Structure formats: structure tokens, C-alpha cells
Amino acid sequence: PPPIFGSEVRLTTTTLQEATPAIAWNGTYVGVLYRKGQVSSNGSLLLPDLYLALLNPDGTRASTPDILVDTNVRYSDIVWTGTEFGVVWVSSSSTYFQRFSPAGVPKAPIVNISSATPGTVKLGNEPPRIAWSQTYGGYALAAPSYQEIQFQRIGADGTAPDPINPSNATTYETPVPLASSPAGDWGLAGRNNSNTLLLFYNADGSHTKPNVSIASSTGPFDIIHDGVTWSAALASASDIRLNRGETFKTFTAVFGSFTEGGHVGLSMLGNGVLALKYKDTLYRLRRYTVPSSAASASYSLIGSTVTLVSSNSAVDLVVEPTGTSQMLAVWQDVRWGVPNAELYAAAMDFQECP
């Protein structure tokens, strides 16, 4: 049988544009970061404010009002550590960080990571990504710059970050997906003018492994650790590819046709199933069993492809597992007319699916 979809929940009803949601599940609520601001004549957001909303697994609000995190925010990201939300964002050419309780209450003051970073190299205006390592007991950030990817561990509270450890590769573009493994090492994905590359940092933040070229393509990509080894999804001009293993010598599960930019994402359901979100003309989802051996390069497709939203008005859709076989999708929707948009959510349950 097909998955069970809940009703769409419209989260905002303002005349302001809602933009670029990022989400994380804490076992009870889904934390949703989003930016809200006036729309200029060219369609960009003017002085957007950053909010944190708490949703129930069915997409309805768990509390109101939403929490104002900061003003004049360009980019943001969120992660759940097991005990708290870690939030990172860019405002006024600096990167900021703050910790929130499971109920969305700030646990400490905002930290200016750029000011606290030793040395002359700082995170600045580019979109940061955040990850947590239980082994390290702290957070890490990754962001692009004009000529390199910047990686930085910031500890458990951000007040004493490590110096930035940049890669030696050049001309990367945004964004830089970041993930950690159970062993505590870090995986990043980036691209230069002609290749999509993977970068692996050790648990201590050092970068001793060579960069791995996985394709002569500059399409969107994502990286995750599937519990056994690293996995990456890559979208080229003609198809979408799911790849497994740290060397990524062989593409598997190639399918398409791919026509939209910037929309691939990987996540792990609670039952150990790998979920691949992508967009061709609509947002869709595929599920795969994870081999028990790191030497296996192939994932096995479970069931059929699922269409997440049956309208092309959905933009910047993100999904987050909320249980063994449940997920929540949150997206920006322009059904009310570009450039105005609102946030929507919908739950799905794969429990009865093959």
C-alpha cells in the first residue's frame, strides 16, 4: 500500500514571505527555523527575521508564538544533539550560534562565532551548516568561501571554537553539507569548477585524508553516514545518483530525469532505512535498505517512488524523520502568488508500506 499522508497544515498566514526552512526532530517536537521578511521589487527578502517554531509530528504547532531568534538574517541551520537544539545563522557579516532547550527556550546567550574564533580566518557571509558529534561532545560548522571550504569545531557551547581548518581545494560554491559518523569523524561535500568532491575530517578536526572526486559534475548534492559507511546523493544535468562508500568509485541507483536545481537530501529513518528526497518536476522520496557491510556499494530500493507534494508551487522542501517509519515535510509554498509565500507542513507514515 502507499504511505499514509496527513493533511497539509498551513503554518503562516501573513502577507510576508517565509523562506528557507531548516528542521530537526527532538523525539517530541520538530524544530523549524524559517526567515520572515518583506519582499523587495526583485523578489529578495528585505531584513528578514529568523524564527524557531515547534511542531508536533503531524505538523500542527506545539506552541505559540514562534520564537524570534535574531533579525537581519541571511542564512541559518539547525541540529538536534540528543538534549538540545543547536542553531547557527549569519547576520551582518558574522556567524552566530545559540543553544535551545527541547521546548525552544534559549539555554545560553547568543555567541558570535566569528569574533570568538582564533586567528584571522573567520566564518562570514556564506551559508553555514551545523552538525553534532556525540563522540566529540560538541558541534562543528562548515561553510564555503571564495577559494576553500571552511571547517570548524566549536565545542559544546560555542564560546571557545577551534581555529578554522580550511580545505586546500578551491572555488567551492554553496552550500556545504556536513555530517558526523558514529566514530566521530566528519564528512563534507563541496564542488569546484569541474568536480563534486567529498572531504573527510578526523574527529579531532584535522584534515589528513585526500579529497575524493566523485563526479565531473557540479549539480546539487548531500552527504550522510548511514550507520555503516558514508553515503552521498548527487544530481547531474540528466539524472540523480545515490552513492555509497568513502571512495565513491561506482554510482548506484541511477535514475532521472533531473530538471530542477538544488534539491537532493538524505536522511535516516528510525528503522535504519535511508530516505532520499529529490525534485524533478515535483518533490519525491525514495527509500532504501542499508547493507550491513561497508564493502557493499549497492542500496536496495524499497517499494516505489513517493510524490511528496503534488504541486509545483512547493519550494525549498525539507523532510525530517519523526519515528521508526514516520516523516514530516516542511516547505515554502508560492500558491498564493510569487514572490509571496507561506510555510506548509505535512506528515507521512510508511509503516504499512513494503
Summarize pLDDT for 15-62 with one digit per residue, the tens.
Answer: 677 778 999 999 999 999 999 887 777 766 677 899 999 999 999 999
Q: Is the pLDDT of residue 295 over 80?
A: no
Number of Cβ atoms within 10 Å of the Cβ of 28? 12
Residues 84-110 have a mean pLDDT of: 96
Mean pLDDT (whole number) for 62-70: 95
The average confidence (pLDDT) of the chain is 86
Percent of the chain that is helix, strand, coil (3-state, to 5) = 0, 50, 50
145 — pLDDT class (breaks 50, 70, 90): confident
Q: Which residue has the higher pLDDT, 77 or 235?
A: 77
- Check if the beta carbon of residue 142 is closer than 8 Å to that of residue 150: yes
Strands lying side by side in the sheet with 274-279: 264-268, 274-279, 283-289, 300-307
pLDDT over 70 at 233, yes or no: yes
Would you call 75 helix, strand, or coil by DSSP? Answer: strand
Dist. CA 87–CA 21, nearest whole Å: 12
Q: Is the pLDDT of residue 258 over 90?
A: no
- Identify the CA nearest to 244 among candidates 316, 208, 281, 295: 295
Q: Which pTM was predicted?
A: 0.93
